[in-house]
Amino acid sequence: MLVAPSPLSDTTDRKVADLAKALAHPARLRILRLLLATPGCIGGDIVDAVGLAQSTVSEHLRILKAAGVISGEISGPRVCYALNPEALSVLAEFVASLKVPDSADCCIPNPKAAT
């Protein structure tokens, strides 16, 4: 009986899509990896690491922050960015939910019920 076959919630779709969009750029993934590998506070080091202009990196950081994936805390003249991996749980759950149980017999002829 199908374990509640994902009610096609439009709201959830939007949330997951927004999270996916936040991850949909190599530079942003690189930033996330950098924050994971660097437990301390990094600021402009991110700019050097990704090799893009400072304004561009700032925009990527803004997008990640807007999606809730990272958080930035002001620390003197710098900003301390930190990962917020819990924010990705909705996306992770969606991806996990796509694991089909087993009944993947596709293409049942489907005789289109005589109208």
Binding site for a copy of itself (CB under 8 A): 2, 5-6, 8, 10, 13-14, 16-18, 20-26, 28-30, 32-34, 36-37, 39-41, 49, 73, 75, 80, 82-83, 85, 88, 91-92, 94-100, 103-110
Would you say 21 or 33 has its CB closer to DNA?
21
Cα dist from 15 to 10, 25, 33, 48, 52, whole Å: 9, 17, 22, 31, 28
Largest CA distance in the chain: 72
Q: Report the nearest approach of a copy of itself to the CB of residue 58 (Å).
A: 19
CA distance 55 to 75: 19
What tokens were used for 112?
């289109």
CA distance 65 to 22: 9
Would you say 96 or 114 has its CB closer to a copy of itself?
96
Residue 88 contact partner, candidates DNA, a copy of itself, none, CB within 5 to 8 A by sort of partner: a copy of itself
Would you say 59 or 90 has its CB closer to DNA?
59
Cα dist from 84 to 32, 65, 108, whole Å: 10, 9, 44
Name the residues that contact DNA, by CB under 7 A.
Answer: 21, 24-25, 27, 43-44, 47, 52-56, 58-63, 72, 74, 76-79, 112
